[in-house]
Every structure is written in structure tokens, then in C-alpha cells.
Amino acid sequence: MSDTYAVIGNPIIHSKSPLIHNAFSKQTKKKIYYEALFAPLNGFTEAIKIFRQNNGRGMNVTTPFKFNAYEISTQLTEDAEAAQAVNTLLFDNNEIYGHNTDGIGLIRDIVTNLRFTITAKRILICGAGGAASGIILPLLKENPSTLVISNRTVQKAYKLKDQFSSFNNIIVSNNNMDIAKREFDLIINATSTSLIGKSLILPRNIFASGSLAYDLMYSNKQTPFLKFAQKEGAEYLSDGTGMLVEQAAESFFLWRGIRPKTKEIIKNIRNGS
């Protein structure tokens, strides 16, 4: 009987994770069964319990359960502890190992796939929810010159600043007027605006020469944020497809001990195949 893995979320029908992990399984010849699980908003813990009882070995966790996954983990990696959010679970006997591979996936996509250097760059992260918290520590480890967090609810941004204060200096932007005084080499949209097809309201002239605009949402069409960035002169544009596949590859490595090749799978997802 194949070991069982899953992605859990609400909603979950849109998830590409089964497609990706089944491709990893075929590529590496590591037989697994991988499914998408929908859980009620108040049913995460019960869903985990049932999954483990049915030979479940590991899970990817997506919106809105990353904080719930953090809370049930009995062992945490540094990235998960810092983010206070978990997107990958490994079940081993009575232990629940919590990991956060989002930031690792983002860095691997930006640095390795896109060949964009983060060191000494000026970064703006738009958003202060679970998506943002998962990428901050790996970004700080790349030693940017500045990292600014902007969020509609400024208290959330300050909470993230305090959360990561021991790792490096983070600046919180109170409003767009403050952002307008700066230029950035890398602007990351970690809000849900692209998911619902809305534009992220940002000042003009904040993209520096040679800058990268990166939307954490994956899409076959250009997102409103990337359309704005292109008009504003961002030299490089990327949605989150590469990050999605790279964080999944890290999850697969944690579960099965082998890291799949990602280039072809990223290409296939972008092409809709």
C-alpha cells in the first residue's frame, strides 16, 4: 500500500499540488498516493486525526490553515518557528513535524530559476498575513539592504516586525506616502488581491532600474499587480508558479529524501498542461 499524502485547505479545488506531487512521484519512481482534502473552517484538527488514522504520512497545508498547522506541530523547524506558520507536516509515530517551505521555494525560484540576486537589494513586501510571514526569514538570510513591510492594517505589519526583530532590521511603512519616497529592487505581492482579481494600490515610480515584481499568486494570466508593475517599468515579472513548484519539491524531499527536478514541471504548469 502506497504512503498517503495530501494538501488540505478551504477552498481546495483550485490546488495544483496533486498534479505536482504525482509528477514528482513518477519522475523519482517513489510511489505515493496524493489527494486534495477540503476541511471545514472549524474542522482542521479532526481532518488531521482521520488522515493519520488512514495511513497519512504527510500534508501540505494551504489557506487558511497554516497557523492551525503551526499550533498542532510538536516539532518545528527554524523557518516554521520564525514564521509561526506551517505549510508542510510530516507524521512520524506520535510526533508531528512542522515545516515552512514557502520561503525556501521563493528563494530558489528567484535566485536559481530567475537568476535575480537578493543580496544588498531593497525589498518591499505588500501584505502581512501567513504568506508574508513564511517568506521573511529566508529573504533576510539573503542579506538585503532593506526590507519594508506594507499592509492595509498597519498593526499586522508591526506584529511581523516584532516577530522577526531578532534576525534583522525590518521597516514598517505606515502608508503609501511613505512608500512613495523610496525605490525598490524587489517588490513582492503577498496580499490576496490577485486571487480575487483586484489591483494592489501602490504609488507610482517605486520600481528601481532592473527591478523584479513578484506575485506570490500563480496564474496562467498576468495578474493585476504584474500589469501595474510592467506599466511602471519593472524589468522582470514573475507570478508564483515557480515558488509553488519549488516549495512542493522541498516538501517532497522532506517526506521522501529525494529532491525532484522542477524546471519541466514549472514549464508545464505555466503552459496549462
Would you say 185 and 122 are in contact if contact means Cβ atoms under 8 Å apart? yes
> Rounded CA gap, 122 and 248, in Å?
27
Cell numbers found for residue 1: 500500500
- 3-class SS of residue 73: coil
Greatest pairwise CA separation for the chain in angstroms: 59
Would you say 38 and 11 are in contact if contact means Cβ atoms under 8 Å apart? yes
Q: Which residue in 66, 121, 141, 161 is the catalytic one?
A: 66
Alpha-carbon distance values, 233 to 67, 73, 85, 105, 184 (Å): 36, 43, 34, 26, 12
- Which residue's C-alpha cell is 506551517? 86
Query: Across the chain, where does the E strand assignment appear?
Result: 3-9, 32-38, 56-61, 75-76, 88-92, 95-99, 122-126, 146-150, 171-173, 184-189, 207-215, 236-238
> Rounded CA gap, 182 and 79, in Å?
29
> Rounded CA gap, 90 and 96, in Å?
6
Would you say 126 and 202 are in contact if contact means Cβ atoms under 8 Å apart? yes
Give the DSSP letter of residue 200.
P
* 66 catalytic per annotation: yes
CA angle at 199 for the pair 198 and 202, rounded to the nearest 5°? 150
What residues are labeled active site? 66
